[in-house]
Amino acid sequence: MKLGALTGGDEAATVTGFAIDHRKVAPGTIFGAFEGARVNGEDYIPAAIAAGAIAVVARHEAVVEGAVHIAADNPRACFAELAARFFAPFPATCVAVTGTNGKTSTVEMTRQLWRMQGQSAASVGTLGVATAGERVTTGLTTPDVVTFLSNVAGLAREGVTHLAFEASSHGLTQYRTEGLHVSAAAFTNLSRDHLDYHGDMAAYFTAKLRLFSEVLAPDGTVVVWVDDPHSERVVDLARARRNRLITVGEHGDDLRLVSRDPTLFGQGLVIAADGVEHRVTLPLIGAYQAANALIAAGLVIATGGDPATTIAGLGRLQPVRGRLERAVIAPSGAPVYVDYAHTPDALEAAIAALRPHVSGRLILVFGAGGDRDQGKREPMGEVAAAQADVVIVTDDNPRSEQPAAIRADILKGAPHATEQGDRREAIRLAISEATADDIVLIAGKGHEQGQIVGDLVLPFDDVSVAREVAGEA
């Protein structure tokens, strides 16, 4: 592609790629120079040009010598649009999910439901870039814009026609997922998380609302879990933009959750759609997974799925890695679950999911990540203390923070909890404490395969450790 084709000018230079990190620039690259949280990408413009960048997307005020300056008021948005034109085509049907919790579960379920209906489907999110056959992690929930667009274009070349991706608030703020035609966008819920980055809940919510106000196609459909207190603003926005609206939940108009009855390994759902009550057994436990399943069904219906077929498909959903995943049954007979809950609301949802299944004590092992929202730690401790029977506070991913300091923050909310910084020992303690009537819940890391301590990523997988420890008991 010639540079002129992207800028509308007559530059004959051939564009070979896009980069937002100067260290990834090669001859022919278009470099995006963005003001970031840590450094200003504009400081690397000379280095990018020295490495062969033929154009730089940057603010009007930036100094660009020796390459075409594509000046823009919003360099991140401009860069994404140009990159999208370079990487196109993309899958014909793309949908996005945002919300504090439920994004991964919902995109995975959407992918599975599409696959049941014969579609070639993929998902992009915390669990990586996933198709039916393979999964490649990117390290982020919403990868950087070049990784995202190039991967999505690659999926289209492989024949993928349906994509569901997680639009994290960081990703939306940093314009990582622009340039696609998004046919439907879903809102799961909003509660406390990432305030270290957004500052306050209003800014956090505003970041998420951008999915519905700017990223979703004007003729797109909005799918909303209306039982969340914040959903009203999303509904109002959809109405103002005259988007098609699919509301789901106990107060949903289009997919109304009439009843939910926990069974041993799942739950019986009655869902009213188009005046018909559909019965289906969801093979996943927890109200939160019923919520995500309805949102996923809403997205599939929004993109042409038959309602009855889609609802019936919920009965064949496979568990989502690290989301109430049953890791092992301890020798004592106590089941051990691993969940990704790392916010107060998620912890509450995970405990509530297991409560109907435990006749004895719910034994909880959890921590909180370093270099993330510190204000959520004490509330997480409070939820644990109030809703679990035995609480063991341990390390999650301390990153650059002192592990003991993170635990101390949590313990302010759970003063009677047991403190064991070594995550393996904490899991061992929980499993050795559990008897046949108890349930062990290990929360916060879910599917993660490593524990980030400083700059190191130590191999650690909650499910594997639980199995090893149970085997040693």
Ligand X SMILES: Nc1ncnc2c1ncn2[C@@H]1O[C@H](COP(=O)(O)OP(=O)(O)OP(=O)(O)O)[C@@H](O)[C@H]1O
Q: If contact means CB under 5 to 8 A according to the sort of partner, which of Mg ion, ligand X, ligand UAG, none does residue 87 touch?
A: none
Question: What is the spatial distance between Cα 392 and Cα 441, in angstroms, rounded to a whole number?
Answer: 10
Residues 6+ apart with CB under 8 A from 468: none
Distance of CA 58 to the CA centre of its chain: 29
Is 279 annotated in a binding site? The answer is: no
141 binds ligand API (CB under 6 A): yes
471 to 328, 358, 431, 436, 465: CA distances (angstroms): 9, 22, 10, 16, 10
* Residue 267 engages ligand API in binding (rule: CB under 6 A): no
Q: Is 37 in the site for ligand UAG (CB under 6 A)?
A: yes
Query: Mask of contacts with ligand UAG, 191-230, x by CB under 6 A?
Result: ------x---------------------------------
The reply on whether position 100 binds Mg ion by CB under 5 A is no
Applying CB under 5 A, the span of 19-27, 83-91, 124-132, 380-388 interacting with Mg ion comes to 124-132
Is 44 near ligand UAG (CB under 6 A)? yes
Shortest Cβ contact with Mg ion: which residue?
126
Cβ atoms within 10 Å of 138's Cβ, excluding its own: 17
Q: Tell me whether residue 102 is annotated as binding.
A: yes
450 is a site residue for ligand UAG (CB under 6 A):
no
Neighbouring CB atoms inside 10 A of 299's CB total: 31
281 annotated binding-site participant: no
Establish if 174 lies at the interface with ligand UAG (CB under 6 A).
Answer: yes
Q: How far apart are CA 351 and CA 29, in angstroms?
A: 49
Q: Tell me the torsion sign for CA atoms 71, 76, 77, 78.
A: positive
Strands 335-339 and 325-329: antiparallel
| Residue 176 among known ligand-binding residues | yes
Which helix H or strand E contains 50, and what residues bound it? Answer: helix 45-50
126 touches Mg ion (CB under 5 A): yes
The answer to whether 68 touches 74, Cβ cutoff 8 Å, is no
* Partner touching 428 among ligand UAG, Mg ion, ligand API, none, CB below 5 to 8 Å by kind: none
Asked if 208 is part of the footprint of ligand API (rule: CB under 6 A), the reply reads no
Cβ nearer to Mg ion, comparing 140 with 463: 140
Instruction: Confirm or reject binding of residue 444 to ligand API (CB under 6 A).
Output: yes
444: left (phi > 0), else alpha (psi -120 to 50), else beta? left
Q: What is the 3-state secondary structure (H, E, C) of 266-307?
A: CEEEEEEECCEEEEEEECCCCHHHHHHHHHHHHHHHHCCCCH
Site mask for ligand UAG (CB under 6 A), range 117-156, x = bound: -----------------------xxx-x------------
For ligand X, the binding residues (CB under 6 A) are 99, 101-105, 126, 141, 166, 168, 188-189, 288, 291-292, 323, 339-341, 345-346, 349-350, 446
For ligand API, the binding residues (CB under 6 A) are 126, 141, 342, 369, 372, 396-397, 444-445, 448
